[in-house]
């Protein structure tokens, strides 16, 4: 496959960026998208040019680091996968592929296609944990949990924090991410002890960091690589309202 890559190049958050076009030839349709970028970078290094900076780690769809905006969609044209899981057979020979970083104020560009997603870590630090004494290992059935609740909690916990929901939202809202982290605990008895503080603290921190409001376009669910349901947002809203009524914070 012969392709034209239109890639966003930006030296740092303080400098202006621009699209730069590159030609890559003889790309195998069985190559992954990141392998194609590796090939491009090898060519650039041989030419003595600066390679394209992009995030990656596991390349197995687990870590969420490979967050790229490809042809106007987070993680590319396929649903339910991350960028590293997408293969070049999804594109056509001679096609022009536009590759950008996440576009959101809370995710400033570090360099080229890399963005700083520390904002998500900050939200997690405000309440995305359970601080209880576990003691010795309890029996598996010591605390009965309905199967439906357990499955929904696991679905919420599958969020990898890639930020696709923010990138897809016209308001750069982090509601699906925060809702998933709140919901995974709200559904389990272990998470009830700190439920009120957790939801209030995480929502407050989300707003403080500059993420936008949710307007129910469902773009976040459509582009989430783990296909997390927006029903978790409804649960978070209920948790938040109950917490505000029961223990309002100034």
pLDDT for res 85: 96
Specify the pLDDT at position 16.
94
Which pLDDT value is given to residue 250?
53
Strands 96-100 and 3-9: parallel
Q: Report whether 90 contacts 3 (CB < 8 A).
A: no
In order, the DSSP letters of 127-146 are: HSS------SPPPTTSS---
Between CA 200 and CA 7 the distance in angstroms is: 39
More confident residue, 145 or 83: 83
pLDDT computed for residue 128 by the predictor: 82
**Mean pLDDT of the region 55-77:** 95
pTM of the predicted model as reported, rounded to 2 decimal places: 0.91
- The whole-number pLDDT of residue 249 equals 55
- CATH number attached to the domain at 3-110: 3.10.20.30
Contact 4, 23 (CB under 8 A): yes
pLDDT of 28 reads: 96
Query: 117-246 adopts what CATH topology?
Result: Fumarate Reductase Iron-sulfur Protein; Chain B, domain 2 (1.10.1060)
pLDDT score, position 134 = 66
> pLDDT band at residue 142, thresholds of 50, 70 and 90?
confident
DSSP-based helix, strand, coil % in the chain, nearest 5: 40, 15, 50
Instruction: Please give the DSSP secondary-structure letter assigned to residue 83.
Output: G
Mean pLDDT of the chain: 93
Q: What angle do CA 23, 24, 30 make, to 5 degrees?
A: 150
Which residues 6+ apart lie within 8 Å of 245 measured at CB?
Answer: none
- % of the chain surpassing 90 pLDDT: 87
Burial class of residue 168 (count of CB atoms within 10 Å of its CB; 0-12, 13-18, 19+): buried
Domains 3-110 and 117-246 share a fold: no
* Domain chopping of the chain, boundaries: 3-110, 117-246
Name the residue with higher pLDDT: 133 or 222: 222
Q: Are 175 and 239 in contact (CB under 8 A)?
A: no
pLDDT of residue 139: 72
């Amino acid at each position: 496959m012969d392709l034209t890559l239109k890639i966003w190049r930006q030296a740092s958050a303080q400098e202006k960026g621009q699209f730069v076009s590159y030609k890559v030839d003889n790309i195998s349709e069985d190559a992954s998208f990141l392998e194609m970028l590796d090939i491009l970078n090898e060519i650039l290094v041989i030419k003595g040019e600066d390679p394209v900076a992009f995030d990656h780690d596991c390349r197995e769809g687990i870590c969420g680091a490979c967050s790229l905006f490809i042809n106007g969609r987070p993680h590319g044209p396929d649903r339910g996968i991350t960028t590293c899981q997408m293969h070049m057979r999804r594109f056509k020979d001679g096609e022009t592929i536009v590759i950008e970083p996440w576009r959101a104020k809370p995710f400033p560009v570090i360099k080229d296609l890399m963005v700083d997603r520390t904002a998500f870590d900050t939200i997690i630090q405000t309440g995305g944990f359970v601080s209880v004494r576990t003691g010795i290992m309890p029996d598996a059935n010591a605390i009965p949990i309905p199967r439906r609740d357990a499955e929904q909690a696991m679905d919420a916990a599958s969020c990898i924090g890639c930020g696709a929901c923010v990138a897809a939202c016209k308001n750069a809202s982090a509601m699906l991410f925060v809702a998933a982290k709140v919901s995974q605990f709200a559904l389990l008895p272990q998470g009830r002890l700190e439920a009120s503080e957790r939801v209030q603290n995480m929502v407050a921190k989300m707003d403080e960091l500059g993420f936008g409001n949710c307007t129910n376009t469902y773009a976040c669910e459509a582009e989430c690589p783990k296909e997390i349901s927006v029903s978790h947002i409804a649960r978070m809203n209920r948790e938040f309202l109950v917490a505000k009524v029961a223990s309002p914070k100034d």
